[in-house]
Amino acid sequence: MNHAVYGFIAGFRNRQKLASILRASPRDRETHAISPEALKQSGVTVLALDFDGVLAPHGRPEPVAEITEWLANCCTVFGPDRIYILSNKPTRERIDWFNSRFPGMRFISGVRKKPYPDGLDKVIEQAAATPAEVILLDDRLLTGVLATCLAGTRVAYINRPYTDFRNNPVQELFFAALRTVERILIALVPDKK
């Protein structure tokens, strides 16, 4: 099944979980403001990172400068072999960038796209971790965040993603609209009594 169609079906089934994640998420959460030390203290031992929006604006071949610094800090705290890139677009350029800058970090590829939990399941298996030790940072509710509901891992919903409307207006507008629509839909889910 196409991953977007699957997202709507699985999203509907998991609407209550998604709504509570959305409600519990801090406003204006940016990737680089997340403290790796605090994550570690809360019991996280494995980081799974989305790329588009979380490490860089859409379609960029490499993370932005402040994220390169943040990644280095994550490496110190968790070790590079405990950090995975889980993008629906694991392009050659991106993989090459990580191989040269952070050779220990691994791209998860060859799996069905998020929201299928396959990528997170692969992270759990490769890291020999429990789902509760893994956190995914993602800026999309109906792909990444939903995948965490299905795989049982933790999640940090990045609601203030990197964007570059000036250089990539069509793609950025498309994804901004998607993010808004999914936020509105999920915010409409009533609180469980």
Our CB check for Mg ion shows the closer of 36 and 115 to be: 115
Taking CB under 5 A as the criterion, which residues in 124-143 touch Mg ion?
139
Residue 47, SS3 per DSSP = strand
- Work out how close the CB of 88 gets to Mg ion at its nearest, in angstroms, rounded to a whole number: 8
Our CB check for Mg ion shows the closer of 76 and 89 to be: 89
173 Cβ partners below 8 Å, 6+ apart? 165
Judged by CB under 5 A, does residue 182 bind Mg ion?
no
Our CB check for Mg ion shows the closer of 32 and 40 to be: 32
Among 6, 14, 19, 50, binds Mg ion (CB under 5 A): 50
Among 7, 36, 52, 63, binds Mg ion (CB under 5 A): 52
- Work out how close the CB of 137 gets to Mg ion at its nearest, in angstroms, rounded to a whole number: 9
Our CB check for Mg ion shows the closer of 51 and 102 to be: 51
- Work out how close the CB of 140 gets to Mg ion at its nearest, in angstroms, rounded to a whole number: 5
- What single-letter amino acid sits at 169? P
Our CB check for Mg ion shows the closer of 76 and 173 to be: 173
Residue with tokens 């691994």: 106
Interface stretch with Mg ion, choices 18-26, 51-59, 104-112, 149-157 (CB under 5 A): 51-59
Is residue 67 within 8 Å of residue 34, measured between CB atoms? no
∠ CA 180-183-184, rounded to 5°: 85
Alpha carbon dihedral 145, 68, 36, 55, in 10-degree steps, equals -10
Judged by CB under 5 A, does residue 53 bind Mg ion?
yes
Mark 85-124 with x for binding to Mg ion (rule: CB under 5 A) and - for no binding: ----------------------------------------
- Work out how close the CB of 49 gets to Mg ion at its nearest, in angstroms, rounded to a whole number: 10
Residue 77, SS3 per DSSP = helix
Is residue 116 within 8 Å of residue 147, measured between CB atoms? yes
Strand order in the sheet with 154-157: 106-107, 83-85, 46-49, 134-138, 154-157
- Rounded to the nearest 5 percent, the helix, strand and coil shares of the chain are 50, 10, 40
DSSP state of 14: T
- Residues near Mg ion (CB under 5 A) are 50, 52-53, 139
